[in-house]
Structure 1
């Protein structure tokens, strides 16, 4: 199969009818793929005036033009109306999914409608079927994976299985989609978006083939990029300790959130450091398909309680953000306890960051007497793992009115029970970088309310001057640079290799000259379109607030400068409105 450099091929599956057909999306030089293609598809097929759970809303999985051509072009964007915010959003994941979609012959899979019964979608290069899997209702992520793998057995090495747990079925606002066991579409509630469609899982069989470019240019470029990734040391951090390497440095900078951000430093950090995980719990490392780095660190969790089997052990993936959210944020200083919480979070199909931060808010609300055991059912105390372990199940099941509120997010619960000032929410539950003013603003106002939108944390760390204009200029330019990568669907860990110039060279060598020549204009177009869609679907730039807790933070630079933070927020808000033309809609 030859890949058309000018168009994108999209499989549209209508669950209402159970039918599917291929679409051709023109102007690839403008939408590129990935984030850009997902945005174009939502613009054409989404229902701006309908809520996130409306069956008409598309659920989109898109890859980029360079997927399968170069190392670390291994990500997929999931585009959807967020059950958390109600707005157009994205989440990104690795695993085998990107190459499975490529070998199935598509640039994106778009799903609309709602299945009559709990179903699994099974896609191959020459097939598309909707299977009744009502027997999987209520099953956890791991049990679901075992059942789903019976589909496409003949393509076992070339398929990807994504699925949701009980949280996604119930519509928990921060439910996630598990991808190939150890990767996730984590943030903004993608699991609930999939649950709204009565989809328990999707299996993509990469049972087709595609042609690689002929000639010396592509071979040389492939070798050049491979050497840069494997021989220069750029990826050493991610391979060795991985992102958990960040725990001790951030703790030393007084920038690691502890106990619901009541402090930013704790002497107990060694117990959950990347070094401790590597020395005591690391079982093995894995890699996404098409990646030579191996940044996926998988820990060995032995049986935790006497009721469990003597020889039981579990494999649990860990990274910096999961350790922060269900370690330091909860006052947990034992690495095995963190793995136990992450294992339960995984089974339920919850975003580990939002779940951890939500429980941290609940623990502080308990300390302050705003809620009691009558609401929480179990004791929620910083540093004590067992109560949090049970609470994760209660969030997933919506055990009572309190956990039903908490399943909609920390701020949603705080508005009912009090404690809005210390709800650590910046659009959604915060990421683990208490670095200062620019990061807080970037997350509160950012497109995905994520540390992945811009490197606001890096700006805080690398700039001592308080220049709001310079900060906003950095955020806008850094976002656009990441859009290039996210439309190619490359791993952000490789952005040091895939700068704009190198991307253009790689595109030309792979036969995508039209995209290469239009890359800058395409980046601007996609950036603007994404913001326009976010505003059309309900984002009110003027209504964004930063809770009081973030004004009380003390880092290595001292106390937060609220005047500076307000100025950055004012300028960033204005830039977003100008780009999205919110006032003209």
Structure 2
């Protein structure tokens, strides 16, 4: 019979040693919250006092599909509160390391950690000092691709997680995991723990550039008949059929003639897709439809012709019928990275977006955050709060829908975006350095003071042209790329799908209830290490899966208790949600209220929209039990 976590370990970078960890939990998030409470990481600064907890779920390497995600729990240097990020497929091979839960404590010199498993569990843990400049420039490769190849060449086949060079200078960096075939990255299995800055935590709080799992450990088997039996009992259908139906969007939807998040979202959401620095929320429907048609012709159609028609599909690294990973010209194309580095920036040429995605992945950046940063700078240039020469660019981007040429302006905007991206990674101007080093919120406050006359003349603060959710005095996170009030509503963990993320609007209390209900369901899935693309079957089977395998069921009350602990922690950490402080964030909600014909639209127009925020927050706290 399985027990979880199996062979958990604590790696102390201060002392340069490791030990077995004594902890009881049903999933990764619960374990992470307990450890962060134990070590009081809510004190001080996130990049000075932290604990990176990463783990595989209780059903890793099992006959259930989509159960091999690796999840990270950490205090975010962006939000300043506890955050959760995950990457698909990592666990399928990393499980051989012999452990399902790792906690990093303290900080040492730049190093890589190699965990080797044997038939009994963890056989050895090596902490090896490395030179960042060497491992990030190895074998004619750069960044995350270089260090991943270095690990393979040095320690043999395995699976790991790594940071890129950006993690050494920014609080917003991601963790990246590459599946390697004979040492070569496969484009399908390039997965990121993107949001909240986990790469920054691993690199700056712990001094670790990579964790690599090798060995031959296999966890106790789960009966291969169990998925079929549970599916027939609870869903009245065979298991594979249940999985295929639940993952239709991500594999291929015959009704839409496309598949994957990129393929489906552009034809499903159409004019509701955020484009041109999110300014589409201000445009009338006919203008939005024109832009949507433009995106379908120039941005989406090449994907259809080369990826969908030729079935360039694969998985994240585990056997899975969803085959959600769609590759275009050698690059994995998902909706949010492609939109963040494409139409959000006024780039309607998929090749230009693809090139930016490749740079972002190798640098170890969060594509969503980068898209917000660059589109914010675009807006600052257009509104005159910044001058091109101050950030080493030669022109002002065109985001005017009435004068937009999808061919000429895509190239123009790409060149400007490319220059800003290079400066974010390597430096080059004081302004872009401030954004890279501090993130949008603190950089904006600094610019308000530095350019006080411009702010007064424009009647706008620098932050007014950015979209982010504020936490406490310093924390923030930018929303996922949906015109959805739930993405900026006052919840304790945002920047992922722990909310109602549909493009809709409702009164604050009912919206809070639907958002919190979704958050609890997403937490259960993340806690168990299951891919959210499988949520439609997994949410129904999960309680019984726990009962059958671990004789300890989970339910929504269990998830609510974990969420409550996160909220309490975040309050202690000074990371409680605070009211919207940027005009554009406020407008994201106001425009959707207007679009839905809500009676709240008039209140938002009168500047009374914060009342919606307060009522939402009050109801969430009631639901949590605070």
User: What is the TM-score of this pair, normalised by structure 2?
Assistant: 0.80
Q: Could you tell me how far 1:272 is from its partner in structure 2?
A: 5.5
* Distance (whole Å) between structure 2 residues aligned to residue 48 and residue 133 of structure 1: 30
Instruction: Report the counterpart of residue 190 of structure 1 in structure 2.
Output: 198
Equivalent residue, structure 1, for 2:483: 434
Distance, in Å, in 1 between the alignment partners of 2:366 and 2:74 is 16
Please state if 1:557 is matched with 2:554: no
Q: 1:218 and 1:333 mapped to 2: Cα distance?
A: 43
Report the more deviating stretch, 554-563 or 142-151. 554-563
Matches within 5 A, 1:339-378: 339-378=354-393
Where does residue 234 of structure 1 map in the other structure?
246
- 1:419 aligned onto 2:462: yes
SS in 2 for 1:24: coil
Q: Choose from 535, 542, 545 the match for 1:495.
A: 535
Per the alignment, residue 177 of structure 2 pairs with 179
Aligned to 1:115: 108
Per-residue deviation, 1:567: 4.4
Residues 392-421 of structure 1: CA distance to partner in whole angstroms, max 9, x if unpaired? 121122333211221122333332334221
The Cα offsets for residues 462-496 of structure 1, whole Å up to 9 and x where unpaired, read as: x7xx3322211111211111111111111111111
Preserved contact between residue 115 and residue 212 of structure 2 (Cα < 8 Å): yes
Residue 508 of structure 1 deviates from its aligned partner by 2.8
Aligned to 2:555: 519
Taking a change above 3 Å as real, the CA distance of residues 46 and 579 of structure 1, as seen in their structure-2 partners, is: farther
Distance in 1 of aligned mates of 2:364 and 2:16:
26
- Return 5+ residue gaps in structure 1 as ranges: 301-314
Range that drifts further, 377-386 or 469-478: 377-386
Aligned to 2:326: 297
Q: CA RMSD in A?
A: 2.6
SS for the counterpart of 1:569 is helix
CA contact (8 A) 1:169 1:198 kept: no
SS of residue in 2 equivalent to 1:61 = strand
Distance in 2 (CA, whole Å) between partners of 1:190 and 1:86 is 12
CA contact (8 A) 1:244 1:273 kept: no
2:182 corresponds in structure 1 to none
Aligned partners of 1:163 and 1:178 also within 8 Å: yes
Q: Does 1:144 align with 2:156?
A: no
SS in structure 1 at match of 2:536: coil
- Verify: 1:381 aligned to 2:397, yes or no: yes
Unpaired stretches in structure 2, ≥5 consecutive residues: 118-122, 179-184, 253-258, 282-287, 399-409, 448-460, 470-475
Please give the secondary structure, in 2, of the residue aligned with 1:243. Answer: helix
**Against the structure 1 CA distance between its residues 250 and 221, is the aligned structure 2 distance closer, same or farther, given a 3 Å change threshold?**
closer
Cα distance, 1:12 vs. partner? 0.7
Alignment partner, residue 478 of structure 1: 518
Q: Retained in 1: the 8 A contact 2:313–2:324?
A: yes
Q: CA deviation at 1:277?
A: 1.4
User: What does residue 401 of structure 2 align with?
Assistant: none
Determine which of 268, 285, 295 is the counterpart of 1:269.
295
Q: C-alpha separation between the residues in 2 aligned to 1:215 and 1:188?
A: 36
Specify the SS of the correspondent of 2:279.
coil
**CA 1:210–1:375: 2 relative to 1, 3 Å:** same
SS in 2 for 1:561: helix
1:200 aligns with 2:209: yes
* Cα offset, 1:218, TM superposition: 6.1
Q: Residue 62 of structure 1: SS of its match in structure 2?
A: strand
Whether 2:175 is the aligned partner of 1:127: answer: no
Given that residues 271 and 334 in structure 1 are in contact (C-alpha distance below 8 angstroms), is that contact kept between their aligned partners in structure 2?
Answer: no
Distance 2:464 2:197 in 1: 24
What SS is found at the alignment partner of 1:13? Answer: strand
* Alignment partners' CA distance in 2, 1:104 and 1:179: 15
Of stretches 286-295 and 357-366 in structure 1, the one that deviates more from structure 2 is: 286-295
Contact 1:247 1:274 (C-alpha < 8 Å) held by counterparts: no
Distance 2:269 2:462 in 1: 26
Task: With the length of structure 1 as denominator, give the TM-score of the two structures.
Answer: 0.85
Question: What's the offset of the Cα at 1:377?
Answer: 0.7
d(CA) in 1 for partners of 2:525, 2:568: 20
1:145, 1:163 within 8 Å by CA — same for their partners in 2?
A: yes
From 20, 27, 33, the counterpart of 2:27: 33
Secondary structure at the counterpart of residue 302 of structure 2: helix
2:74 equivalent to 1:80? yes
Distance 1:452 1:404 in 2: 30
Change beyond 3 A, Cα 1:508–1:388: same
> Which residue among 422, 429, 440 is the counterpart of 1:393?
422
Matched residue, 1:303:
none
Distance apart, 1:246 and its partner CA: 4.1
Tell me the SS of whatever aligns to 1:497: helix
1:373: how far off?
A: 2.2
Residue 350 of structure 1 and its aligned partner are, at CA, apart by 0.9
CA drift of 1:206 comes to: 4.9
Measure how far apart 1:573 and its partner are: 1.5
Query: What is the Cα deviation at residue 507 of structure 1?
Result: 2.1
- 2:403 alignment partner in structure 1: none
- CA shift for structure 1 position 130: 0.9
CA gap of 1:217–1:581, structure 2 versus 1, over 3 A, is closer
Shift of 1:572: 2.8
* Contact 1:551–1:562, Cα closer than 8 Å, also in 2: no
SS across alignment from 1:498: helix
Is 2:97 aligned against 1:100? no
Q: Which secondary structure state, in structure 1, belongs to the residue aligned with residue 272 of structure 2?
A: coil
Deviations 1:391-450 (A, max 9, x none): 112112233321122112233333233422111213422221114x44432xxx233322
